[in-house]
Structure 1
Amino acid sequence: MKNAIPNPPLQASRITANASTGFKVTTADGRPARLAVVDDEGNVIEAGQDLAWAAWRVCVEVQENFWEGMGWLEVHTSPPGDPVLVERLMGKAA
């Protein structure tokens, strides 16, 4: 299964993970770094440890769904179109 997923080399960063600590991100030379979500205009819209844990949670849930024979299920960090999240994001933009 894992051979079917791309594994591109990262030039400037390294990502490691284990089951108890989630993702760890560093620069290529070992300095601490953090995950970020960047929109198509290059704006960082979310970054940091909460993002890393949310991404890890999605990965774990997807793997559990696969093991339970429900690999076709999609996992979300929050309900799509969540009105609370939309309001929070729109308030930030205003």
Structure 2
Amino acid sequence: MKAALPNPVLAGASLSATVSTGFTAKTEAGGNARLAIIDENGNVIAQGQDVAWAAWRVCVEVQENFWEGQGHLVVHTQPPGSIGKQPD
């Protein structure tokens, strides 16, 4: 399965992950970096640890669903249509 996915080289950065720490982003020089969600106009919508953990959670959950045979191959960080809304 991994061979079917793109494996791009990140210019000036690296990304790693472990089960216990989630994603870790580093600069080319080894300094800490942050994950961000950037819109099509280049505006930073969200950044930092919350983005890293939300991305990690989605990756883990979709993989677990696949292993369990549930067929839920799409996982969202929150229900579609609720972006920016706080839970009641």
Q: After the TM superposition, which residues 44-83 of structure 1 pair with which residues of structure 2 at under 5 Å, given as runs?
A: 44-82=44-82
Structure 1 residues 5, 71: closer, same or farther in 2, change over 3 A? farther
Count of residues in Structure 1 that have an aligned counterpart in Structure 2: 86
Structure 2: segments with no counterpart, 5+ residues = none
Greater Rg, structure 1 or structure 2? 1
Structure 1: segments with no counterpart, 5+ residues = 88-94
CA displacement at 1:70 relative to structure 2 = 3.0
Q: Determine which structure has the larger helix proportion and give its number.
A: 1
Percent identical across equivalent pairs? 60
Asked if structure 2 preserves the Cα contact closer than 8 Å seen for 1:23 and 1:53, the reply is yes
* SS of residue paired to 2:51: helix
- Aligned equivalent of 2:24: 24
Asked if structure 2 preserves the Cα contact closer than 8 Å seen for 1:62 and 1:71, the reply is no
- Aligned equivalent of 1:91: none
Q: How far apart in 1 are the matches of 2:27 and 2:50?
A: 19
TM-score by length of 1: 0.84
TM-score by length of 2: 0.90
**Letter of the aligned partner of 1:74 in structure 2?**
V
Pairwise CA RMSD of aligned residues?
1.6
* SS of residue paired to 1:37: strand
